[in-house]
């Protein structure tokens, strides 16, 4: 029974993440979500007592999916440049398989929540800062391991990689085709001095 | 009288752009805008007959402001690398002076409208594509003029510069402080082989 309840909650939250990538976290409401799931509003209130609680649970679920689809594949790659390339490739695949209709949940949530305050904004900011820090650690390992010159700055490199991720997402969301995904793979490999042996694929 | 009407319309649209950077283009309504301007809804209907007409006029005004604040300063810089650095610096200054509370209008609009269809999405996409093409032309001139190696690809470089712009905007909107603006200036100069003689300023 508890496992069923957990699966049901997770299915609800996945729909909430999906809707948020189109209508925004502020556009998410228990009413809209109930409609999308063909559930009663009272049924949803049993899971989430308020809009803010629903938003926070949605950010948590989006973070779980992002970690599973993007961070974990990178952590399994060889430390250093291998992880930098892998995090970008995994992000590209996250888009390519159209996990969500509006592209990357966090790219949108950062801009939507950035000018607000409160716990939902804090949760989005914490995720984003954690991601930048993780990429910075991959970059630091690449420099420490001699794969990248010591003149590189891990923080600046993480910033550049975030830029590639955001430009890829923006181009993909706007264009709706896979062309930009291949460009992303080439740009990252060129930047890191890795041979491009395929059109943006590892 | 016509000049007065034009100024009045422009002031209304500037407020519409401002509101859109916080609540999104879909969050913009004649009702909300009337409230923000302390105008009657019927007064606004005299300017814009429908929400879509208001959204399209808002995108046009945002494009005009972006061209004035970001593109035109770049066009006045020396062709090639000078223009690439200038477009980034001008974008950074556009954020630094807090032109809009939610950062860059188009960074948000691209993600919000990307998964929709219709004339507003088309207008946002046309602006974004024009910007990428303009930056690609700056890059092409830098390569043709021998400032960058012929192994550089103008399209890929434009993609990277868009990435820096988007990462700067995301970091600035989320963090609310100027630190990321200085990083942007350093990253672009390092990428283009230009000496950094100040903290991200030209």
Q: Chain B closest CA to A43's CA: distance in Å?
A: 28
Q: Find the DSSP H helices in A24-118.
A: 30-37, 41-47, 51-66, 72-75, 81-96, 105-114
Q: Is the Cβ–Cβ distance between B144 and A174 less than 8 Å? A: no
CATH number of A58-192: 1.10.357.10
Q: Which residues contact A95 (CB under 8 A, 6 or more apart)?
A: A103, A104, A168, A169, A172, A181
Q: Chain B closest CA to A187's CA: distance in Å?
A: 6
Burial of A151 (0-12, 13-18, 19+ CB in 10 A): exposed
DSSP state of A71: I
pLDDT tens, residue by residue, A61-92: 999 999 999 999 999 999 999 999 999 999 99
**Does pLDDT of B199 surpass 80?**
no
Q: Chain A closest CA to B5's CA: distance in Å?
A: 32
pLDDT at position B200 is 43
Q: Chain A closest CA to B35's CA: distance in Å?
A: 20
pLDDT at position A196 is 73
At B76, list the tokens: 């006045």
Residue A36, number of CB atoms within 10 A of its CB: 14
Instruction: Say if the Cβ atoms of A166 and B166 lie within 8 Å.
Output: yes
Instruction: Say if the Cβ atoms of B101 and A115 lie within 8 Å.
Output: yes
Backbone angles phi, psi at B199, to 5 degrees: -75, 70
Domain B51-192 is found in CATH 1.10.357.10: yes
Of B102, B114, B191, the CB nearest to A114: B102
**Does pLDDT of A200 surpass 50?**
no
Place of tokens 């422009």: B10
Where are the domains positioned within chain A?
58-192
pLDDT at position B1 is 55
Region B25-38 average pLDDT = 92
Q: Chain A closest CA to B154's CA: distance in Å?
A: 11
* Residues from A in contact with B at Cβ < 8 Å: 21-24, 26-27, 101-103, 107-108, 110-116, 124-125, 128, 155-156, 159-160, 162-167, 169-171, 173-176, 180, 183-184, 186-187, 190-191
pLDDT tens, residue by residue, A149-189: 999 999 999 999 999 999 999 999 998 788 999 999 999 99
Of B125, B128, B173, the CB nearest to A110: B173
Q: pTM for the full model? A: 0.94
pLDDT at position A197 is 58
Rounded-to-integer distance, Cα A19 and Cα A54, Å:
12
The CA–CA distances, whole Å, from B159 to A56, A187, B53, B129 equal 33, 8, 31, 11
At B89, list the tokens: 């610096």
pLDDT tens, residue by residue, B121-171: 999 999 999 999 999 999 999 999 999 999 999 999 999 999 999 999 999
Which one of A166, A185, A188, A200 makes the best mutation probe of the B interface by having the most chain B beta carbons within 10 Å? A166
- CA nearest B152 in A: which residue? A190
3-state class (DSSP) for residue B185? helix
Contact list, B155 vs chain A (CB under 8 Å)? 183
Place of tokens 């007409």: B53
Rounded-to-integer distance, Cα B87 and Cα A175, Å:
23
Instruction: Say if the Cβ atoms of A160 and B124 lie within 8 Å.
Output: no
Backbone angles phi, psi at A193, to 5 degrees: 70, 30
- CA nearest A20 in B: which residue? B112
Q: Is the Cβ–Cβ distance between A86 and A161 less than 8 Å? A: no
Q: Is the Cβ–Cβ distance between A40 and A49 less than 8 Å? A: no
Rounded-to-integer distance, Cα B53 and Cα B61, Å:
12
Instruction: Say if the Cβ atoms of B107 and A112 lie within 8 Å.
Output: no
The CA–CA distances, whole Å, from A125 to A70, A103, A145, A199, B109 equal 18, 18, 30, 33, 20
- The overall longest dimension of chain A from CA atoms, in Å, is 58
Query: In which region does residue B38 sit, left (phi positive, over 0), alpha (psi from -120 to 50) or beta (all else)?
Result: left
At B73, list the tokens: 């300063």
């Amino acid at each position: 029974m508890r496992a069923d309840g957990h699966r049901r909650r997770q299915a609800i939250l996945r729909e909430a993440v999906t809707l948020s990538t189109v209508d925004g976290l502020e556009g998410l409401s228990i009413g809209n979500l109930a409609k999308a799931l063909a559930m009663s509003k009272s049924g949803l209130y049993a899971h989430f007592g308020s809009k803010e609680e629903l938003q926070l649970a949605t950010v948590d679920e989006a973070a779980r999916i992002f970690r599973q689809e993007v961070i974990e594949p990178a952590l399994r790659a060889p430390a250093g440049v291998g992880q930098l390339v892998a995090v970008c490739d995994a992000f590209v695949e996250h888009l390519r398989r159209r996990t969500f209709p509006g592209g990357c949940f966090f790219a949108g949530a950062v801009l939507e929540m950035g000018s607000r305050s409160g716990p939902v904004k804090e949760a989005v900011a914490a995720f984003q800062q954690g991601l930048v820090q993780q990429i910075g650690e991959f970059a630091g390992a690449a420099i420490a391991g001699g794969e990248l010159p010591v003149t590189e700055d891990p923080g600046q490199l993480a910033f550049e990689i975030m830029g590639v991720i955001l430009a890829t997402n923006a181009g993909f969301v706007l264009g709706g085709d896979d062309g930009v995904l291949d460009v992303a793979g080439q740009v990252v490999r060129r930047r890191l001095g890795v041979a491009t042996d395929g059109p943006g694929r590892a």
